[in-house]
Structure 1
Amino acid sequence: MATVVATVEAMWSREMAAMMGNMNQGTSGGPTAILNKCKEINEGITELTRKREGQLVSAQKALLDSSTGKEDQSSRQTLDYIEDEINTALRYLRDQFKRVKETPGSGDSRVQGQVENVSRNLRREIEAYQRTQSDFQKRLEEQVRRRYEIANPEATPEELEQGVQNVLMGQEQSFVVPGTRSRQANDARQATLQRSAAIRKIEQDLIELSHLYNEVAELVHQQEPAVQQINQGAEETHRNVEQANTKLDSAIQSAKNARRWKWYALIIIIIIIAIIVGVAVGVTQANKSANSSK
């Protein structure tokens, strides 16, 4: 039977193959690749929802309805398997969402809405799973209490409460089996121990789910400084380009002015030379005229 993880991995593999083709274009896939990732993670979440509402609920009901030690053990094994599948799938989806957030361009306005939508969907599924497990835990605790009462009909309310808490903590020796009702008591004891073990597993899973939820929520905000830094860098680069263009325009104008003044200077020099030459020629002609008159 294909698991949720296998389904998500298969979808992600197809996406990665397509993304590798896009990398030849000089980008990391761009907005289209990121949107495809978001779509496939959402599909994985949808598959996980079906498993939670279908297989998990059925396995929980089977354990609650079981009446023999053999049924209890079989139901527990099936339930543990499905819970482990869901927990593994949630961690896997968390990792894939982290990869999306680390992909260049995930803060682009064209994809940011879909990225945030994936985060909300994943957190919503984690919350739904937490509620399902919490409700199941309460029903198991009720069954533990009833079966402990069956095995210990003479216990006072205080002894009953203490005994139930000991069983829930995994202290099997707390479950007393009166010899006068050994068969019924042993059945109750077996059922109680199976359920108390399931409760302890749920408690541990709920702690991990809480951490998982916080990690997904923090991923959105953890990447914002990087995105802001990129935007600030782009703005600074734009300002630098504008300043460079301004300086370049100024340099070009200065060069034009310098060339213009060079021409002015050359013309003045030519005029001065012409004046000097004219004066020299005039003086020479005057001297010649004076000599001729003598």
Structure 2
Amino acid sequence: QQQGYSGQQYGQQPYGQQQYGQQQYGQQQYGQQQQQYQPQQHQQFAQQQQSQFNGDAQQPQYPPPVRIEMGALSQTNDMGTFFAEVTSIQDDIGRLEQNITQVNHLHEMSLNSVSTEDQTSRIARQLDNITADTTQLSNRIKKRIKDIQVANLRLKGSADAQIRNTQASTLKEKFLNTLRRYQTVENDARQKYKARMERQYKIVRPEATPEEISQAVESDNQQVFAQSVLQSTRYGDADRALREVQSRHDDIKKLEKTIVELHQLFMDMETLVVEQGEVIKNIEDTADQTGTQLDVANKEVDTAIGNARGARKKKWICLIISIILILVIVLIVLKVTGVI
């Protein structure tokens, strides 16, 4: 059973240290019982997160995926190997879904709870940790799906090509749908954080116009808000509002960074396989051209060999004819001279 996000030691086994090639496919055949992702786990994560509100989030120790290198994957037609990789990628997508659920829950906690500054910092660290983990996991899934797609291009003439392509397309669509959900979560959180900042600004300056509020919220320079604090007669409330706005501003910047990264993931999923396909096609075209040139060269060699053999044959014929002529002449001379 997959444990909750905070149930593992953060940083024990970063993705960069995992060696996918160390585990052979023979250790996990397709058809064996796989861990299935259950939607009920979403509720479990929410309950676990609430019970651990006073502790920092920790990175899950995901089991290393059952995976071989792309080069080996593209050189084998074994469908058991292929389906084992597909199942392992599905498990990773399930973990990604779990992470997104937790990200959404942490945003809700940050927005809806009345927290101390220390608790707010803990939630921020939790979000930082799980966001970094989710980014690594997303990139890992992206690479594994691309490896399968490129392998399918190399094996497009195999009997199982249609099955392979269908499975790869299903994985890709499931991954993209998960990323779309992540985008929605992050975009919604960004809008809610901005609305919270606007409310805090109104605490400082109740008479502010919508234009002034928008300028203060959108500006990267928080001096606009700080100046309002100095001008406010409600200094205590304004000072607390300033600290929260600064925190929310940082949160929004992190969200915007994540949204940009997600957009890049979408672009990568659409472009890299096309580029790989063009590279493979160029290699195949070059191989075909090389093969054609070799055929032409072989024909020319065969022609040259035939011509050489013909020339040698003609030389022997000429030599034999010359010998016969010489013998005839000798016989005639001997007969004329009366020797014979």
1:206 to 238, 259, 282: 259
1:195 has 2:245 as partner: no
Deviations 1:143-202 (A, max 9, x none): 222333344434344444444445x7544515639656946x666555444333211221
Amino acid at match of 1:194: S
2:333 to 268, 280, 284: 280
1:66 has 2:113 as partner: yes
1:55 to 84, 87, 102: 102
Amino acid at match of 1:58: H
2:72 to 13, 22, 29: 29
Instruction: Return 229-238 or 156-165, whichever deviates more.
Output: 156-165
Deviations 1:236-289 (A, max 9, x none): 22112211221122123223322332332233123213321331232133x88x
CA–CA separation in structure 2 for the residues paired with 1:131 and 1:77: 21
CA–CA separation in structure 1 for the residues paired with 2:73 and 2:129: 38
CA–CA separation in structure 2 for the residues paired with 1:277 and 1:73: 122
Q: Does the 8 Å contact 1:145/1:164 carry over to 2? A: yes
Alignment correspondent of 1:77: 125
CA–CA separation in structure 2 for the residues paired with 1:180 and 1:265: 123
Specify the SS of the correspondent of 2:208: coil
CA–CA separation in structure 2 for the residues paired with 1:151 and 1:69: 20
Amino acid at match of 1:85: D
Q: Does the 8 Å contact 2:204/2:229 carry over to 1? A: yes
1:259 has 2:312 as partner: yes
CA–CA separation in structure 1 for the residues paired with 2:289 and 2:113: 68
Alignment correspondent of 1:13: 19
Alignment correspondent of 1:147: 200
Shift of 1:92: 4.9
1:232 to 281, 285, 294: 285
Alignment correspondent of 2:61: none
Indicate the RMSD between aligned Cα atoms, in angstroms: 4.2
- Structure with the greater alpha carbon radius of gyration: 1
Alignment correspondent of 2:54: none
Q: Does the 8 Å contact 2:229/2:239 carry over to 1? A: no
CA–CA separation in structure 1 for the residues paired with 2:11 and 2:92: 7
CA–CA separation in structure 1 for the residues paired with 2:174 and 2:301: 52
2:189 to 118, 136, 159: 136
Shift of 1:15: 2.6
CA–CA separation in structure 2 for the residues paired with 1:195 and 1:238: 64
CA–CA separation in structure 2 for the residues paired with 1:38 and 1:125: 19
* TM-score after normalising by structure 1: 0.70
Shift of 1:224: 4.6
Amino acid at match of 2:133: E
Structure with more relative contact order (C-alpha pairs < 8 Å, separation 6 or more)? 1
CA–CA separation in structure 2 for the residues paired with 1:4 and 1:116: 33
Amino acid at match of 2:72: G
Specify the SS of the correspondent of 1:176: helix
Shift of 1:2: 6.3
Deviations 1:80-107 (A, max 9, x none): 2212222233345556678x49x9x775
* TM-score after normalising by structure 2: 0.62
Q: Unmatched 5+ residue regions in structure 1?
A: 20-26, 289-294
Give 1 or 2: higher helix fraction. Answer: 1
Amino acid at match of 1:73: S
Q: Tell me: CA distance 1:116–1:241, structure 2 relative to 1, closer, same or farther (3 Å).
A: farther
1:249 has 2:255 as partner: no
Instruction: Return 40-49 or 172-181, whichever deviates more.
Output: 172-181
Q: Does the 8 Å contact 2:103/2:127 carry over to 1? A: yes
Amino acid at match of 1:48: L
CA–CA separation in structure 2 for the residues paired with 1:270 and 1:180: 130
CA–CA separation in structure 2 for the residues paired with 1:198 and 1:88: 20
Deviations 1:120-149 (A, max 9, x none): 666555444233211211122222223333
Q: Does the 8 Å contact 1:4/1:86 carry over to 2? A: no
Alignment correspondent of 1:86: 134
